[in-house]
Each structure stands twice: as structure tokens, then as C-alpha cells.
A and B are shown apart, each in its own frame.
Chain A
Amino acid sequence: MRPRKPGRRLIDRRAFLKAGGIALVTAGAGPAFLGRTALASTPVTTPGRRKVLVTIFQRGAMDGLAAVSPVGEEARMRALRPRLAMSAARSAGSDGLIDLGVGFALHPALAPLVPLFRDGDLAIVHAVGSPHATRSHFDAQDFMESGTPGLRGTPDGWLNRVAGRLGHDASPLRALALTPSMPRSLAGPAPALAVADLDALRMPAAIAPINGESSQMEALYGSSDDRVFAATAREAAEAMRLLARIDLAAGERSSDGRGYPETTIGASLRQIAALIKADVGLEVAFAETSGWDTHVLQGTATGSFARRAEELARAVAAFFTDLGSRRDDVVLMTMTEFGRGVIENGSGGTDHGHGSCLFVVGGGVDGGKVHGTFPSLDPAALTAGRDLPVTTDFRSVFAEVAGHHLGVADATAIFPGWSGPRLALWRSALQHEPSAPRVRR
């Protein structure tokens, strides 16, 4: 330890007191521990513009039939779900379903998605799900996130495998989950970051000790042979240094008034948009929303499903508005572990089912359509007599998105043991702009 000189310190203290603290620290004459950056930090270049895949996991299993209803099955839906079914007829008014003009109707709470569908930016895939029959939330999420239905031991998540195959230099913020802990989808050997709120990695600008703190963290954990702590600390420190260099707040300010809901998913998408606009090298983002496990009083135009749906739709719509000129670089995909029973349960809700639907939004997507094969709702045709059959393996959608949008085309590497076909979700180069579907509303 270096000898300390009380006299100097005393003077510094007086100066500090006199200067009121802030001045001293921000003047750069400040304490050494706040200024160790230069020694410890690795140089970070601003990585620049990239294609971005944004994924949203709807935890709890979204009722795909409530979100996107087959118009031709209205009578059957009414019989199977007397308390939940809604009508797409004009007479139903604003409480009715929104007829998309393609044989399906959106839940009214999803109205904010209608412009994206009409403009051909939103593709819906219906009767999608896992080939595995589990009705356990935990298992089904695990299988979907690992990308290996039926296999519990897969060590890493499918998005991590995608991130690991992107090639080119990685930004510390290449793969980011805005969740309190690392989601199964992004867990694995490729560097990835999980943080509930980017603010956790930022300190008040008045003192800006970020670099000091990040270096302290690296020194504290990096010196131990505890690899878990060391790796986490290094990833966090690099992200903090990168965030310290950009003006994220500017991006966030410009998103005011875009209509983001004041909820977790709204805040997550807002921060993701700010990162994209700041060109920090984000390529794979993950966010989640919960509350889809609607066993009780699911409701119709209002109620627990409607609140979740509206929140999600508003967040997604605000996100694409907010992206502005960057929206062509971004594809957003939703996913959920399974669907819910076609037949309502005894408490005005739905129990765990099988097939559901998902949304793919973004530039180049073959939107304005409902993709996949929608099965009959004849009870005789339902899985186990009560569930929407899965006609599209979720991997054929995920592989298409990773391959087409991010250029990671090696589907067997992302989904070991699977060699199914990709579901075509992109407009071919020769294809003309789609004619706008005739959406009622």
C-alpha cells in the first residue's frame, strides 16, 4: 500500500468541500478510483448498423384463438366457448373482432396492430407450436427456448446459438435480454447480457463514475478463480463502458409520445429501440411479457386477456413507429409456450392447450397474411378432443426468421436434430408489393 500524505488529503478535502463535490469529480481532477478506466478498459468502437431480431416471449401461454379467430368457425367457437367467443360481424361494433379480410379476425384489443397488417408488415402464423405434447409451462418454455422439444438436457438456448453464428465482430451489447435473469433462449456460450433495465448499467451523469465502477467490478471478480462471477462482471463492465459512450437518453427522449404503454413490455421495447437508434451493435434482443395464463375470467373485449393484448399491441406498434428509418433493419417475433383449450373451462377461462399463433413483424416480411395451415375446429379433429392441433412446428418459423433476417441459415446447428422445412415468411425478390388486405376498421 502506498504511503498516504495526510496534508495533501486535507487540502483536497477542503477543496472538495469548497467546490461542493460535483465540480471536483466532474472536473476530471477527481479521485483516481473513478479514473482507472484507461488502464482497465478494452477499447470499444461503436459497432454500427446491424440487422436486429427482437423476440418477445409471452409467458403463461397465450390463447391464440382469442388473439386471432377463424371467421368461418364463429358458430363453433360460440358453442365451444359460450362465455368467450366474440363476433366479427359489423353489428358487433367496437366490441367485436376486427375482420382482417383473410378469413381471420383480430381481437379488438390488438387494434394497434391493424395498420402493420394492412401495410403488409405483419405476418401471422397460426396453429403453430411444439410437436411435444407437454402442458407444463416450465417444460414447454424450456423446450421452445432451448429449441429442442422433448430434450431437457440441451445446455444452451436457440437464440444463443444464433448469436454465436453471426460472424463479424461482436458488440458487448450484441445479444441482450431485458429481463431480470438470463432467459433460457439466450443462455449459452456466446456472450449475452441480461438486465431488467438498462438504467442499472448507468449511473447519474453528474458523477459519471461508470468507468471507475466497471473497472472495480472487473478487478474484484476478475482476480478470483470464480469464472461465473468473472465472466458476468466482464460482460457487465464492457456494456457499461459502451453505454457510457453513447447518448441513450436522446433516443429515449425522441420516443416520447410514440404511445408506448407504461408497462414492462413497453419499457423494454422502448429501450431496445433506443439501442437500435444508437447503433450499439445490438443484433439479438429478448423481452418478455407475463399474465397470459388465463385460467379464470379471461373476458372478451375487456378483461384480463384484453388488457394483456392491448398492452402488447400498443408496445409493438409504438416500437415500429419509434424506429423510424431503422425499421427496415428490424424484425420482431412473438412466441408463447403453447395455446389454450379450444373449449372454455369452468371459470370463464381456458386451461392449457396445444397450438397457438405468433406474429412476425418487420421490413420484408410477407405480411398481411395468415400463414400456416389452420385446422378445423370440429371437436373430432382437435388434439385430445380439446386443443388446437399444431400444424406448424415453431422451429420452421424460428429457422426462417434467423436464416432470412440474420443470415444464419444453418438450421440444424440452431435446432439440433431437426431437419424440417422452413415456413416461407419473406416476400421473394420478384414478388410485387402485396395488395392491401381489406381490413374492416
Chain B
Amino acid sequence: MVVCAVAGVYALTQAASAPAQEDARASAGPEASAATASAAATSFPWRQAGLDAKTAATHLLDRFAYGPRPGDVDTVVAMGLEAWLEAQLAPVAEPDLEQRLEHLPSLQMSPRQIQRTYLSSFQLRNMLARDRSAADRTVEVGAGAGAAQDDRDAIEGTPARGEASDDVDHVLLHDEVVAWAKSHGLRTHKHLVAELASQKLLRAVYSPNQLREVMTAFWLDHFHVSVRNAEVRAFAISYDADAVRPRALGEFGSLLFATAAHPAMLVYLDNARSVAEAAAPRAFDPQSYPDWTELRARFASLADYASAGREAAGLNENYARELLELHTLGVQGGYSEQDVREIARAFTGWTVRSSAGALSPYSKISAQALARLAPDQLQVRRQYLFRGDLHDAGPKTVLGQALPAGRGARDGRDVLWLLARHPSTARHVARKLAIRFVSDAPPEALVDQLAATFEATGGDIRALLRAIARSPHFWSAAARGAKVKQPFELAASALRGLDAEVKSPLAVMRRVADMGQPAYAASAPTGFPDQAAAWLDAGTLLARLRFGLDLAAGRIQGISVDLGRLAGGPAPASLDQAFAAYGARLLPGRDAKALQMALRELLAAPGLDEGLVAAAALGSPEPAPPGTLIALFDFEAADVPPQAVLAHLAGLILGSSEFQRR
């Protein structure tokens, strides 16, 4: 995996602005590990909630993992729930998963390589048109300058119709563009987004570090960037893999810094284009730098995002506002419009080096040399760029705290420190975690407790997760099964529960999009919602039911399910036997008697099997894989339910409200 700018920036910012904190953390080392040791000893209060070990382990796996695979519940019970959580908090190497990810080339590329290899359809259409214009001048390529930003046809899903073609010029058909790209060794944004979605599913299904995946998804929603924005796409893989995942179980402040300085965020929330007001003092005083003339020449040749092709002057408040409202304090966290404005001023100059100006003379100057030249006034770390000449150098006041004039990039870093340790941030993050792990309307006492943990540990995410698992609220009857699975969680947990083989994740991710959750493409900066009301509606419930039925029946491409192996013995001789076998796998530790009654009635209808065969042949949204029909007809024994019925049964279990919740 590519190591990106961000880790470096964080290290840099920490070292520069908060040596005191660094020292404090270093000296806290031994105590911290002592705390870890005692952590494992503290047992989770599931017995007090009246649970047996299996039920408790299932609940834990439903929340701290993407659901159990066959055998997982027994494993967790055997090792102890507390020990399992501690193991999850210390991620291990993932060689098997890495092997499954090998066929996704973009995962091995830097954002810059991605920008050169994966082009938007807008870019490709232009290139193709240029390629042809000599031969045929009638080819027209439309869409204005903003088309790249609005080019959404890379995104599969929800807006299944319409939205995708919002700004697409149809003069050149997509297939033609794709073929041309292929012949030139180029790939499209559609491929890029597909690879991004694919790795997400493969990790969720196969990663041994389940909790890290769960938390990565949580933070990706918290610090949301969307691939609906074409300019974000090249950075999205690095954002996921370099900025968020390595810190998903670390410290909140570290995540905050990593996201703030990452090109994906700088582009998505427009800070990359936010520049000091025309009248504001600029941090750069050219006269104070002996090398200024030379530097200026280099500046000019460095095409960067903020000033590319346009007059740059003036604030863009988008990031400042969402930083306060979504990432840290929360909308009721106690900030004013003035604070938004001041924070926007503090972040002026935080921008992105565009690929267009690649490797201008800057590439020859080391970061250290730059820092000597203009400490805190000019920084380049891969595609993160701080430009003092675009920064508002005047004094600022943020949340009552004065930021003296002329400190360049330190302004933004100080703001992040201030916000990361603010009590409102503690509360905001505590509530979101409680909603994620416990229930849609978590008890205030739990939120209080988590907020206190956040404050006491400086936002230590591991400490917060332990606190959740140790809370009686987590194990209460009110919490168990209280969460409706998000579509992605539903898909991942179904694949895990069925022990399915994922040969190609794309068809599943298309279904996830149909169920309302196109990966990395939530349309609001809030990320995907985490409450049931957002996920259960007429259309989506039907899509969720059909997903389970199609998955179990082998009607989703790229996925193979072996129901015989799942049953774990001889083929079930009755529906009750089949229910017992599949129910034990898919709903371990759940009371499924009512469901069994309902399914018995549903499946008892005479002629059901033929109906299923017909539906399989005709109603499948995707063509049945070759051989499916024949396999369905293999059954000849009198009293054994045919395969189609068994698959239907498994599908209905996946569709049941029992499985749809966690």
C-alpha cells in the first residue's frame, strides 16, 4: 500500500505544534499497557443481563464485527469475549486478504498514479474527441468546465436511474469511450469506484481485523468524503487506506489531523479553494525571504488547486462549518457564526497540489529545505500543500482562544487541537458511537459515560470501545437486536453467515447500492445515517428481501454459496431439519421459534418448488448461471425438500427481521 502524505503531515504537525502532548503520551506508555492488561481482566456484564455465553458472543460479533461466520461464536466463547475484543483491538497481518485484493490495481497506486491511469468519462471523451477531431470534425464534446466535478457516471447504484447522466454528454457513447480507453492502457473512473467498493466488501467479509473494518466504516461516515465528486475519486483509496484505516482504532485527534490534511477532504469540502480575503494581510512577506524571487518563480510554475486558472481571493466556509458541525463539536456544540468565519480564515492556504503541475521545481526541494526557507509558511507533503501566500495572516479568535498573527499553517493545527480536546467533541463522538454500537436512541447515562472516557483518555478510541463492551447498556434487552443493519452490513453479514465464496464483489455492491447505500457515495457531508428510519422503506425492504433470496439461490453473480456445506451434515430431510441447520448458522443464539412457524406455513404451499424454479428462471434480475436449472432438478428423492426450496428457506431466513437486525 502506498504510504501517503497524511501520516507525514500529522507527524509534522504534532511535532511542530504540540511537543508537550507528544511527551505526555510517551511517558504515559507503561501505564497505558498496564491499563490494557487490566482491561482484559475486566469481564463484560453479559451474565448480569441474563445471557448465555453463545448469545453474548453473537451479540458481540453482530456489533464489533460484520456478524459471525460459521464457527465464530464457539471460537469467541472458547477464547473469552474479553480476550476476543482485546485481540481485535490489536490488528494482525492479513496475508489471505491481501491476496484477494491483489487483482485491484488501484490499491497499489499513489493518487498521482491513479490520476494518470483512471480518467473520468469527461476527460476520456475529450481525449477521444481530440484523437478524432483531425479525422472527423463533426464529433462534438459538450459539458462545460465544471463537468469533471459533476461527472457522476462512475457511480453505480441508488440514483439507479437519472442522476448518473445528469451532466453527461451523450454524443459519444460510453462503450465507445471505454473501448478507446482500454486500447490506450487507460481505465475509467467507473473502474476506480468499482475497485474501491470491491475492496470494502472483501475486507468486511474476509479481514480477520473485523473491528478495525467496522470502525473504518464508522469514521468514513463521520469524516465523510464522496466519490460523487469526481475530483475526490483519485484520492479516495488513499483516504480510506492511509488516512482512516490505520487510525480507526487509534486516537480521535490523529484522525482529525489526518482527514483535515488529506487531499480528499480538502477537495470535497472545498478548503483547497479557500483563500484569504483580498484585503487580509498575507502571511508571506516576500521581502523577508532572501530567496523569494526564485521561490516565487517556482510558485508560479506549481499549478495548484486553489489558483489553477482563476483569480483566487476569498473564503470558502464549507470545511470550517462541517468541521465544527459534523467532525467535532456537533451542531449544538456551542459555536457561533463568527467562529465558522474565523476557522475558515485559519485554514486558508491549506490546499492540494494538483497533478497537472506535477513535479515542478518543487520536487527538487526537500521538505526540510522548504521548512527552513519558510517555516510554517510553505509546506509540501506529497499532494498536501500549504501556501502562506494564500493564507490570511491576521490575528484570529476561535472559541474565545486567540490565534496570534502570522503563524501560517499553525493556525489550522491549533484549531484542530482545540477542537479535538473540546468537551463538546467528546460528547458528540460519544453519542455517535453509542448510536452505532448500542441503539438508535441510546441512554443518556451511556453517552455521559463515554464522553467522560473520551475526555479522560484524550479521545482514545480503544478505551471508548472497551467502555462500550463493559457497559450494562450494551448487553441490555433493549439493545440486543435493536439495530437495523445498514445495507452494507446486511450484505457482509449474509456472506459471512453463509460462508459464501466471493469471487467478484461487484454484483453484491450493486445490490447494496440498490438497497440505498452506494459505497463511498453518500450525497450529504453527514455520511450515511446510522438509524433504522433511514434504511427501511417499501422499496428498500423489498430489495433487502430479494437480496437474501437471490443470494441463497445462487442468483448473484460472483458469489457461490454451498448450502450443503452450510448444513454441515447430510442433506436435511425436512424443512424443520433444514431450518434447524440453517437457523443455527445464520441466527445463532436467537429465539427463532416464531420465524420457524411463519416459514413452515410459507413453505408448505403445494407446488412451491415449481414456482421457485419458474421464478428462478424468469424473475432473476441477473441471468441464472449456467447449470442452475439442471441442479435444481437433480432432486428426486421423495421426502427431501428440493434444492430450490432449501435455498428459498435460507433466503427467507436472510430476509427475516431477525437477520436484518443486529
Contact = CB atoms under 8 A, between A and B. Distances in A.
Interface of A: 1-2, 4, 6, 9, 12-13, 16, 21-22, 24-25, 30-34, 36, 59, 134-139, 180-182, 187, 193-197, 200-201, 203-204, 206-207, 209, 212-213, 216-217, 219-221, 223-226, 228-229, 232-233, 235-236, 239-240, 262-267, 290-291, 293, 295-297, 299, 302-304, 307, 311, 344-349, 351-352, 384
A219 B602 contact: yes
B126 interface: no
Contact of B537 (A9, A180, A221): A180
Contact of B598 (A30, A194, A219, A352): A219
Nearest to B523: A290
A63 to B, nearest CB: 14
A1 B604 contact: yes
A79 to B, nearest CB: 14
B325 A180 contact: no
30 contacts: A9-B610, A12-B610, A24-B614, A25-B611, A30-B614, A31-B614, A33-B605, A33-B607, A59-B524, A180-B158, A181-B533, A181-B534, A193-B537, A193-B538, A195-B538, A196-B539, A201-B538, A201-B542, A203-B619, A207-B615, A216-B602, A219-B602, A220-B655, A232-B537, A240-B542, A291-B150, A291-B166, A296-B273, A296-B316, A303-B146
Contacts of B313: 346
Contacts of B614: 16, 21, 24-25, 30-31, 34, 207
Contact of A296 (B149, B340, B637, B658): B149
Nearest to A344: B314
Interface of B: 144-146, 149-150, 158-163, 165-167, 270, 273-275, 277, 310, 312-318, 321, 325, 331, 337, 340, 484, 516, 523-526, 529, 532-543, 545, 574-576, 594-595, 597-615, 617-619, 633, 636-639, 652, 655-658, 660-661
B607 A32 contact: yes
Nearest to B318: A295
B516 A304 contact: no
Contacts of A135: 321, 337, 340
A24 B600 CA distance: 25
A393 to B, nearest CB: 21
A75 to B, nearest CB: 20
A217 B545 contact: yes
Contacts of B516: 180-181, 196
| 4 smallest beta-carbon distances between A and B, as pairs | A346-B314, A31-B611, A195-B539, A236-B538
A233 B516 CA distance: 17
Contacts of A346: 273-275, 277, 312-316
B608 A217 contact: no
Contacts of B542: 200-201, 213, 217, 236, 240
A232 B524 contact: no
Contact of B146 (A16, A193, A304): A304
Contacts of A221: 541, 656-657
A286 to B, nearest CB: 12
B398 to A, nearest CB: 17
Contacts of A204: 618-619
Contact of B618 (A206, A262, A263, A296): A206
Given A201-B539, A219-B598, A187 B609 contact: no
Given A4-B638, A197-B160, A220-B656, A307 B602 contact: no
A16 B295 CA distance: 80
Nearest to B615: A209
Contacts of A384: 337
Contacts of A290: 523
A299 B147 CA distance: 12
Contact of A33 (B275, B318, B608): B608
Contacts of A207: 614-615, 618-619
A291 B230 CA distance: 13
A34 B610 CA distance: 10
B317 A16 contact: no
B150 A217 contact: no
A266 B162 contact: yes
Nearest to A236: B538
A287 to B, nearest CB: 11
Contacts of A296: 149, 270, 273, 316
B165 A12 contact: no
A30 B614 CA distance: 9
Contacts of B604: 1-2
A181 B537 contact: yes
A32 B606 CA distance: 6
A378 B560 CA distance: 67
Contacts of B161: 197, 264, 267
Contact of A267 (B162, B533, B538): B162
Given A1-B575, A228-B484, A180 B615 contact: no
Contacts of B158: 180, 196
Contacts of B615: 34, 207, 209
B608 A32 contact: yes
A13 B275 CA distance: 72
A405 B314 CA distance: 45
A226 B657 contact: yes
Contacts of A30: 607, 610-611, 614
B326 to A, nearest CB: 8
B646 to A, nearest CB: 14
Contacts of A182: 533, 537
A225 B594 contact: yes
B513 to A, nearest CB: 10
Contacts of A25: 611, 614, 618
Contact of A347 (B274, B525, B534): B274
B537 A195 contact: yes
Given A194-B538, A264-B162, A224 B618 contact: no
A267 B312 CA distance: 38
B598 A220 contact: yes
Among A134, A182, A229, residue most surrounded by chain B Cβ atoms (within 10 Å): A229
